[in-house]
Structure 1
C-alpha cells in the first residue's frame, strides 16, 4: 500500500491541534514512561505499525525495559507491571473499546487522582486519534524511520 494523503502536510491545522495535546500531556503529572507504555499498548490493539515503532523507541528512551515491551500485550499474565500500570492498561483497553465497566473505573480510581485520570483518558484518546490517522492515510515507507524524541 502507498501513502494516501500526507496528512501532516495537508492537515496542518488539525495536526497543530494534536501536537498541542501532546505538549499539554508532557506537562501532566502522569509519568512519561507510563504514558508511553499506554500509547504502545493502544497502538498494539489498533495495529498501527508507525506508532508501535515510535512508542517502542520512546519507551526505551524513557528507560523502559525491553522485556516489558515484549510482554505488554499479555500484561495480565506477567509479573512485570505494577498495580498502577495494570490499572492504566486496563483503563486504556476499556476506553479504546468504548466499553468502560464500573469495575475497571473503580480499579483505576484506586491508583489515580481525578486529574490524572482525565489526563490518562486524554493519552488514550490522543493515541487512538493518531493511530486512526496513520492507518487511514497509510505511509508504510515511514515505518522504522522514527527517531526517539523526534517530535519533541
Structure 2
C-alpha cells in the first residue's frame, strides 16, 4: 500500500485548520474516554482502518478495556456501556449517517437527558471532526503501520 498524498506537507494550512478543531474539542471538557468511543465508532462505520487503529490504541492508553473496544460495534447488545455512552454512540451513528434519516428529535432528547446544550454542541463537533479525519485519511490513502 502506498499513501496517495501527504496532506500534512502538501497543504499545511488545511492540516492546521483540522488541528484547531481538534484542539477545541480536547480543551472543551468533553470526557476523553467518550471522545475515543466516538472516534472509534465513527471510524468503524466509515471503514477507516488508519483511524480505527489509532483510536483503539489511544483508548487503551487512557484505560479503556479490551472488552468494550471489541464490543463497540455491537454496543446495543453489550451491557458494558452507560446510558450516556449509549445515547452518544447512537448520536454518533446518526450524524455519521446523516443522509439516511437525519437526527430524530427523540434521539436529541435522549442525548440531552445526559448533557447540557453546550456539551451537545461539543459532541456534535467531535463527531464531525472524526468524520472529517476519516474522510481525509481514506481520500489520501492513509493506512495503519504494521507492528
Alignment TM-score, normalising by the size of structure 2? 0.94
The root-mean-square deviation of aligned C-alpha atoms, in Å, is 1.3
SS, match of residue 108 in structure 2: helix
Deviation at 1:145, TM superposition (A): 6.3
SS, match of residue 77 in structure 1: coil
1:144 corresponds to? 145
1:71 corresponds to? 71
SS, match of residue 24 in structure 1: helix
Deviation at 1:25, TM superposition (A): 1.1
In structure 2, C-alpha distance between the alignment counterparts of 1:51 and 1:114, rounded to whole Å = 28
> Are 2:123 and 1:127 aligned?
no
SS, match of residue 135 in structure 1: helix
In structure 1, C-alpha distance between the alignment counterparts of 2:66 and 2:145, rounded to whole Å = 17
2:119 corresponds to? 116
Q: Which runs of 4+ in 1 moved over 4 A?
A: none
In structure 2, C-alpha distance between the alignment counterparts of 1:28 and 1:58, rounded to whole Å = 18
1:150 corresponds to? none
Deviation at 1:139, TM superposition (A): 2.6
In structure 2, C-alpha distance between the alignment counterparts of 1:29 and 1:139, rounded to whole Å = 29
In structure 2, C-alpha distance between the alignment counterparts of 1:65 and 1:130, rounded to whole Å = 24
2:103 corresponds to? 100
Query: What 5-or-longer segments of structure 1 have no aligned partner?
Result: 147-152
> Are 2:84 and 1:84 aligned?
yes
1:50 corresponds to? 50
In structure 2, C-alpha distance between the alignment counterparts of 1:17 and 1:145, rounded to whole Å = 28
> Are 2:7 and 1:7 aligned?
yes
Query: What 5-or-longer segments of structure 2 have no aligned partner?
Result: none
Alignment TM-score, normalising by the size of structure 1? 0.91
In structure 2, C-alpha distance between the alignment counterparts of 1:114 and 1:104, rounded to whole Å = 14
Q: How many residues align?
A: 144
SS, match of residue 71 in structure 2: helix
